[in-house]
Structure 1
Amino acid sequence: MDMNRLRIQLFCLLLLWAGGLSLSYTHAQAPMTIEQALDIAEENNPDLKAAKLNLERYQHNLVAQRASLKSRFSLDLNPVNYSKSRRFDNRLSQWYTNETLNTSGTFMVSQPILMTDGEISLINTFGWQDNKSTVEGRDNRNRAFSNDLYLRLNQPIFTYNRRKMELQQIEFDYENAGIRYALQRLNTERSITNQFYAVYMAQNNLSISKEELENTKQSFDIIQNKVEADLSAREELYQAELNLANAQSAVEERIVSLENAKDQLKQTLGMALDDDVEVTVEIDVSPVAIDLVQAVQSGLNSRMEIRQREIDIELAELQMIRTKSLNEFRGDISLSVGIIGDHEKFGSMYDNPTQNPRVAISFAVPIFDWGEKKARVKAQKVAQTIAKLEQENLQIDIELDVRQTWRRLENLRTQIDIAEKSVRNAQLTYDINLTRYREGDLTGMEINQFQTQLSNRKIAYAQALINYKIELLNLKILTLYDFENEQPIVPVREWTGTKY
């Protein structure tokens, strides 16, 4: 039996040494606070990085669209154009040979008009040509410079402003991307907080299990001395050995749970799984007076999801305008005025200029579309109704979530008080019964039950504190209001000078 006890003790020491070795790297690391974890996730979390890149993409689209509304400058060059062909002149009913060599360039400045969806352009075409025609053996030749300068206006009529609507569409997309990024930040904060507290709880459970192991080892030493002094039955020593083995097994299980919780946290933070991490947090739960009416009103006024539904409604309105434009009656007006001059000498091109006004009006008149436009308009009206219903349902869901979270917080405050008293009572009960155990009034199985009760009470108290902090965070996210510091929160950061 002495050899068995020795083997058990050596086995326990080896397991403790292995557990300490597995945590040695953890203790070598500086503990991470929850603020540091959120900063790491800001740079490394995959979902948050994707949302940020998506926001950046829409921002570039918006910059490009606004740039397209400014004046555009272009230059088209045709350095050399040579051709020689045999043609038939219908007016004179004879064939002739034409040989042409020319060079030209066109410079254009165009300015889109956002208010009317039109475009005004200043165009200048300068060129030189050497043109030769041979008719029945006679040569006609012209070498001259030419310049055509004119101002042109293109304006669609009887239709919607496509350019303005396209800008609105991109602005809505950009705002929506900003909201999704802000929501992803809040969701990431919630996920990290939950997993951070999970690691903290696993560390706390491991600490409690180690404390339980020390108490069980103390009980084992007590009963071992009593058995050796023939003051207790040897069966009590067997039970003590079993309690000690179970306590050591509990420590090993807690170590496994801690490592698994760390891996989950590292994955969310975007860290390498080989990195080690240890968390530290001060859970100071002080009563927070929260007014339910204020919480609900803050949620309805501040939640970004409501703005998303408003954007959906506005986008549906834009889509209705596009739908109604199917097979529409529309027109286009093109006006231009300018002068053109030509001469063999460059400086004399405008000695005898010619005005060249142009006017063009065109219409597109639909006749019959077999009811396509009417059906599509009805479908879009249904889509608008759905968007409005989703907005109304979202407001109801927000109010329900705030109410339920507020009730859970009130209940958790009571549970914390009860759990704190339970820990205090369990500790006093254990201390009293440990004395009885030393005096031989309790068996090893009975003192183990009191030890387990104490450990469970400590775990329940820590979990109650964490549950309260998590629910308080949930309420902050639901209402976008920090009730601990009594100030609204704005999860929207400045993005290159634009708030989204």
Structure 2
Amino acid sequence: MKKIIIPLLLILCFTTTQAQEGQHRHLSLDESIDIAKEKSYTMLKLKQSAKQAEYDLQSATRSLKTNIDLTLGLPTYSDRVSEWRDSLGVSYYSEKQLEISGDLTVRQPLPTDGSLYITNTLSSIDDMRRDVRSTYARTRIGLEQPLDAFYGYNRIRSTLKRAKLAHERSQKSLKREELNLVYNVSSAYYNLLQLQESSNIALLNLERQTEAYEMSKNKYAAGLIREVDALQMEVDLAEAQSNYDMSLLNQEASVNRFKELLGINLNDSITLENKLDYNVVIVDPEIAVNYALKNRLEIREQDIQLELQKLSIKQQKSQRIIKASINAHFEQIGYDQGFKRNFFSSTGKSYRNYKDRPANYGVGFTISIPILDWGENRSRVRAAESQLKELEYSKIETERSIETEVMNLVANLNSNLKRLQLLEKNVNVAEKSFEITRQRYSDGDINSESLALERNRLNTAYTSRLSAYINYQLSIADLMRKTFYDFENNREIE
């Protein structure tokens, strides 16, 4: 038995350890964005919000379809004392009744804010004290139509329009937040990449400093340099080691934040693709502004607010207009009452009476005329119209703000591109200069201070080039989310 249990425990421990260790991920920027779109809690919440708006739209659309309702009373029993008043006075008697009933209603809403309906009712009451059964059957076909829906406020159409606008707004909000997520992931990705590259630069600096330290150590042993120069190299080596250790700590903290943003397991280990290639993107400011004005959600939101406000004004005006409605119905009724009859017999007799009895008809025209409200509703309408005007001004202001913002983004993008191209040349010059300086130090032409100065200049060139690369890539991502257009691939964001 022990021979079986021990291997099982070892397998379980190994599996648990593997689960705790997580998996290793080598991520590019596109892969990071795809993971965030699928797993980040921000996108998960936004997708649920979009589903809610979609269901609201379905609800508003399906409210125009036929509704069928069935109500059954199977059975309803009552035992009470009833009162009877006549010329002789008041008398009381006990009453026991057993009722079975059913009501089926089919209603079809109309786009004109009215409805057609058919109601079938069957009710059978057994008076157990007198042993008398009463059965009642009725079918009614009717029309209800408010006439003010044709010239005033149509509730059904307005509800449907509001639902469509809300659905459109939620879809655009989802797309905007998706682009914001792309930018945030890009920013976090490049921030982590910067720390990762900074660690590589710090490691490269440590290796160079170690080489310089060994070189100065040998020179000092040979009596070629002063002791102070050898000690300075030792201090520089310790500083390089400290800088490398700190860069690793900063990188680890940034890695955890990046995992949280992507929504992946914190036990997973990740490394980023460190290719610093880029495409030269030249953007026409006028084209960028046109795409922004066409696609930005803020402008469409203003349009939606204007449409909703117009509906509110129309609804407010309808509060004090002349209202009229037409109600019409066709009704067939059957009735039976008899002594010691069962349910089926009484129902059959009521059905025969239903067929023989003449039909009932009814039609009505109702009109409601507002007389006086001392201008209350007019003031409410004017307040709503003032709010509409305010929204129109807000839209103009938003358009101007977007135009200025996008023009600044394009200028910043072009500036970052020029800076990146310039700093790439600086890196090439700094690398060649450092190799020459290192060789001169090896030949004994310069001291350690000159070598350290050139090494710092090279590290600064690497760091500046990396920062310029990141700023350029983030400028492209920022412009994409502000215009809904991918200028790098020349395609509109759907």
Query: How high is the TM-score relative to the length of structure 1?
Result: 0.85
Kindly tell me the number of residue pairs found equivalent between the two proteins.
Answer: 459
Kindly provide the amino acid, as one letter, of the partner of residue 410 in structure 1: N
Kindly provide the amino acid, as one letter, of the partner of residue 180 in structure 2: N
Report the counterpart of residue 318 of structure 1 in structure 2. Answer: 311
CA contact (8 A) 1:77 1:105 kept: yes
CA distance in 2, matches of 1:41, 1:239: 48
Q: What do residues 365-402 of structure 1 show as CA deviations (whole Å, max 9, x unaligned)?
A: 54544543233222212221222122212222222222
Report the counterpart of residue 11 of structure 2 in structure 1. Answer: none
Report the counterpart of residue 157 of structure 1 in structure 2. Answer: 147
Distance 1:339 1:83, change over 3 A: farther
CA distance in 1, matches of 2:76, 2:284: 81
TM-superposed deviation, 1:357: 2.1
Work out whether 1:105 is the aligned partner of 2:102.
yes
Report the counterpart of residue 236 of structure 2 in structure 1. Answer: 243
Report the counterpart of residue 202 of structure 1 in structure 2. Answer: 195
Q: What do residues 76-128 of structure 1 show as CA deviations (whole Å, max 9, x unaligned)?
A: 11223445554435699886858554322111101111x21111110111122
Distance 1:474 1:174, change over 3 A: same
CA contact (8 A) 1:77 1:104 kept: yes
Kindly provide the amino acid, as one letter, of the partner of residue 362 in structure 2: R
| Residue 71 (structure 2) aligned to one of 52, 58, 76 | 76
1:206-221, aligned counterparts within 5 Å?
206-221=199-214
Q: Which has the higher mean CA deviation after the structures are superposed, 442-451 or 240-249? A: 442-451
Kindly provide the amino acid, as one letter, of the partner of residue 34 in structure 1: L
Distance 1:151 1:218, change over 3 A: same
| Residue 259 (structure 1) aligned to one of 246, 252, 263 | 252
Work out whether 1:117 is the aligned partner of 2:107.
no
Kindly provide the amino acid, as one letter, of the partner of residue 192 in structure 1: V
Kindly provide the amino acid, as one letter, of the partner of residue 109 in structure 2: P
TM-superposed deviation, 1:185: 0.4
1:398-477, aligned counterparts within 5 Å?
398-477=402-481
TM-superposed deviation, 1:225: 0.4
Work out whether 1:33 is the aligned partner of 2:28.
yes
SS in 1 for 2:26: coil
Q: What do residues 155-177 of structure 1 show as CA deviations (whole Å, max 9, x unaligned)?
A: 22335111221121122112111
TM-superposed deviation, 1:363: 4.5
TM-superposed deviation, 1:212: 0.8
CA contact (8 A) 1:145 1:349 kept: no
Kindly provide the amino acid, as one letter, of the partner of residue 315 in structure 1: L
Q: What do residues 6-44 of structure 1 show as CA deviations (whole Å, max 9, x unaligned)?
A: xxxxxxxxxxxxxxxxxxx99x83411112211221222
TM-superposed deviation, 1:251: 0.7
TM-superposed deviation, 1:269: 1.2
Report the counterpart of residue 17 of structure 2 in structure 1. Answer: none
CA contact (8 A) 1:110 1:121 kept: yes
Q: What do residues 478-498 of structure 1 show as CA deviations (whole Å, max 9, x unaligned)?
A: 2222222222221xxxxxxxx
SS in 2 for 1:120: strand
Report the counterpart of residue 13 of structure 1 in structure 2. Answer: none
CA distance in 2, matches of 1:217, 1:207: 15
Q: Which has the higher mean CA deviation after the structures are superposed, 51-60 or 409-418? A: 409-418
TM-superposed deviation, 1:195: 0.6
Q: What do residues 379-435 of structure 1 show as CA deviations (whole Å, max 9, x unaligned)?
A: 212221222122212222222222112112222222122101111111111111112
Q: What do residues 291-331 of structure 1 show as CA deviations (whole Å, max 9, x unaligned)?
A: 33222222222223322221111111112122223455434
Distance 1:353 1:85, change over 3 A: farther
Report the counterpart of residue 333 of structure 2 in structure 1. Answer: 340
Kindly provide the amino acid, as one letter, of the partner of residue 109 in structure 1: V
SS in 2 for 1:266: helix
Q: Which has the higher mean CA deviation after the structures are superposed, 325-334 or 475-484? A: 325-334
Distance 1:81 1:337, change over 3 A: farther
Report the counterpart of residue 341 of structure 2 in structure 1. Answer: none
Distance 1:127 1:354, change over 3 A: farther
CA distance in 1, matches of 2:88, 2:484: 85
Q: What do residues 265-286 of structure 1 show as CA deviations (whole Å, max 9, x unaligned)?
A: 2222123444332111433223
Could you tell me which runs of 5 or more consecutive residues in structure 1 were left unpaired when the two chains were aligned: 1-24, 134-138, 491-500
| Residue 396 (structure 2) aligned to one of 384, 392, 395 | 392
Kindly provide the amino acid, as one letter, of the partner of residue 73 in structure 1: I
Kindly provide the amino acid, as one letter, of the partner of residue 443 in structure 1: N
Find runs of 4+ consecutive structure 1 residues off by over 6 angstroms. Answer: 91-94
TM-superposed deviation, 1:450: 0.7
Kindly provide the amino acid, as one letter, of the partner of residue 394 in structure 1: T
Kindly provide the amino acid, as one letter, of the partner of residue 238 in structure 2: A
CA distance in 2, matches of 1:180, 1:174: 10
Kindly provide the amino acid, as one letter, of the partner of residue 155 in structure 1: Q
Report the counterpart of residue 66 of structure 1 in structure 2. Answer: 61
Q: What do residues 229-279 of structure 1 show as CA deviations (whole Å, max 9, x unaligned)?
A: 111111111110111111111111211221222222222212344433211
CA distance in 2, matches of 1:98, 1:361: 44
SS in 2 for 1:354: coil
CA contact (8 A) 2:176 2:481 kept: no
Distance 1:325 1:261, change over 3 A: same
TM-superposed deviation, 1:221: 0.7
CA contact (8 A) 2:324 2:365 kept: yes
CA contact (8 A) 1:34 1:281 kept: no
Q: Give the RMSD, CA atoms, in angstroms.
A: 2.7
Work out whether 1:147 is the aligned partner of 2:123.
no
Distance 1:44 1:125, change over 3 A: same
CA distance in 1, matches of 2:275, 2:241: 28
Q: Which has the higher mean CA deviation after the structures are superposed, 317-326 or 166-175? A: 317-326
Could you tell me which runs of 5 or more consecutive residues in structure 2 were left unpaired when the two chains were aligned: 1-19, 339-344
CA contact (8 A) 2:289 2:403 kept: yes
Q: What do residues 169-209 of structure 1 show as CA deviations (whole Å, max 9, x unaligned)?
A: 12211211111111110000000001101111111111111
Query: How high is the TM-score relative to the length of structure 2?
Result: 0.86
TM-superposed deviation, 1:355: 1.8
Report the counterpart of residue 10 of structure 1 in structure 2. Answer: none
Kindly provide the amino acid, as one letter, of the partner of residue 481 in structure 2: I
CA contact (8 A) 1:341 1:354 kept: no
Distance 1:391 1:461, change over 3 A: same
TM-superposed deviation, 1:219: 0.8
Kindly provide the amino acid, as one letter, of the partner of residue 213 in structure 2: F
SS in 2 for 1:277: strand
Kindly provide the amino acid, as one letter, of the partner of residue 48 in structure 1: M
